[in-house]
Amino acid sequence: MAPPLLTTGAHGVSMVAMRTTQFSKGQGTGNDFVILLDRPGMLNLTPAHVKWLCDRRFGVGGDGLLRATRASNIPEWDGRPDMWFMDFRNADGSIAEMCGNGLRVFAEFLREEGLITGNEVDIATRVGVKHVLVHGDGTITADLGRAAVSDEPVTVTLDGRSWQATPVDVGNPHAVVLLGADDDLDELPVQTQPSWEPRSAFPDGVNIEFVEMIEPGHVRMRVHERGVGETLSCGTGTVAVAAAMTAATGHHGPWTVDVPGGRIVVEESDDGFRLIGPAVIQIHGEVICPDLG
């Protein structure tokens, strides 16, 4: 642990730095994450610390944070205790159930750090065990399981315009909006928070995807992620889109989903959906974490 240092907080307030923390940073189709290795489960990550680490000006910067720890350190986990657990937090510090891009980045981090042997790994998450295959060519396949498409639509409103959206549960909540011919995906202010009705449909918030059909099996997507805002990609969002589009069109894929950060392919199997896309570990370093109370 580094000696206390005086630093300046996000609002110009002097704070004592509580420790120097090693971190890595990775991204999958532009969806980027701060990664912390915490074998013994000793890091006391408060929402304030996560928010600071994910801040792009005062911290490291990222759409979310991935803590790699043993499943035995997660009180609610009742499976194998020796598994690696992906403890995922949104950029606002809130805990999230699942992240498809994060899962691929997490697996690549484990591989590069020598924390797994071989190219396959089962990863513990808040929505169960997920199988991941590292191909060695820069792409990774993550099995995300089944997606539940609801037939009770909700209404999503953005910038004074409203659309009917399809709710999809991929372990976390999504609302998929298929745009019409008069809609321009590139012009939508997706960075602003959309609203939805009824509010009771998503009491804990929702990820909202706006989708443009290119051709059968091929779509473009932008997303407003719960607890983050607009991101360059959302892995579970691409699965939600594939599931919603399959239900709407009868085309069972594969689905090619173009996002601002690149391209993801979603395949359907007997066990659900699998996500295929790149993952890169870009940075290793140390950061002085301030005492945020």
**Residue 234 falls in the annotated catalytic set:** yes
Catalytic residue among 178, 188, 234, 276: 234
Instruction: Say which residue the tokens 């009742």 belong to.
Output: 78
The SS3 assignment for 224 reads strand
Euclidean distance between CA atoms 58 and 131, whole angstroms: 35
Q: Is residue 177 within 8 Å of 212, Cβ to Cβ? A: no
Instruction: Say which residue the tokens 């999809």 belong to.
Output: 168
| Bind-site residues | 31, 90, 100-101, 172, 207, 225-226, 235-236
Euclidean distance between CA atoms 278 and 64, whole angstroms: 17
For the chain, the distance separating the N- and C-terminal CA atoms, rounded to the nearest angstrom, is: 18
DSSP characters for 94-148?
-B-S--HHHHHHHHHHHHHTT-SSSSEEEEEETTEEEEEEE-SSSEEEEEEE--E
- Contact residues for 203 (Cβ-Cβ < 8 A; gap 6+): none
β-sheet bridge partners, residue 154: 165
Q: Is residue 165 within 8 Å of 196, Cβ to Cβ? A: yes
The SS3 assignment for 185 reads helix
Is residue 198 reached through a cis peptide bond, with omega within 30 degrees of 0 on the bond before it? Answer: yes
| Bind-site residues for substrate | 31, 90, 100-101, 172, 207, 225-226, 235-236
Q: What is the DSSP letter of 8?
A: E
Catalytic residue among 37, 99, 175, 211: 99
Q: Which residues are catalytic?
A: 99, 234
